[in-house]
Amino acid sequence: MRKKALITGASRGIGKAAAYALAKDGWDLFLVCKSAKEALLKVREELENKYGICCGAMVCDVSDAGQVEEALRKAGEIHALINNAAVSYVGLLTDMTPEEWHRVIDTNLSSLFYTCRLAVPQMVHRKAGKIINVSSVWGNAGASMEVAYSASKGGVNSFTKALAKELAPSNIQVNAVAFGVIDTDMNACFSREEMAALEEEIPAGRMGRAQEAGEIIRQLINAPDYLTGQIITMDGGWL
């Protein structure tokens, strides 16, 4: 039986790139995203046609525990879980509404609880599994004007380390990647001038590519079982 991975936020960006990276390795996939149904179905069609894999797809708001439960039920048996879905908020903390705060925290952090609590039991039963959480350098260092996002990703890092310790006796590896600036739609809120100034701060001289992000996720899934509880930083030497 071929292995299957569930990827959240898979219609674009890092999630989509991770899907392509795993499909090349022959993984079956179950992809979810919040609202971009047409884009998600296009990704599914491309992967099935190009790589001959089985690929399920479903619109799912990962901040909603009920929707996540339905998605995990439809996905069936999974051997890897990639928690990638996230939203950002750029602005002063004092300008945030409670609803905007909860939207960031629930999408970026609570979703990990919703997915893992359902995926972990089957992994424990098999004594095998991989969980990869997509984090950010702001979870390590914090960013002005992105307090909620930074707090959510700091929570992702702690969640990763703690769950890794909990699941290590069951031979399940839990790791995260703290990405720097990756060229995805999430950065569309910044002007060309702002992005150019940011690139000048990065020793590598450029933003990371989504394909590079997908590749490091693939490598972590294929990494030795002794690698767990780690927050791998991939930021071009920025921070």
Whether residue 51 lies in the annotated active site: no
Residue 15, number of CB atoms within 10 A of its CB: 28
Q: Contact at 8 Å (CB) between 214 and 20?
A: yes
Coil, strand or helix: which one is 79? coil
Cα–Cα distance between 213 and 151 in angstroms, integer? 22
Per-residue burial over 69-107, b if 16 or more Cβ lie within 10 Å, else e, is: eebbeebeebbbbbbbbbbbbeeeeeebeeeebebbbbb
Catalytic residue among 20, 51, 149, 226: 149
The first and second tokens of residue 81, run together, are 């879980």
Q: Provide the annotated active-site residues.
A: 149
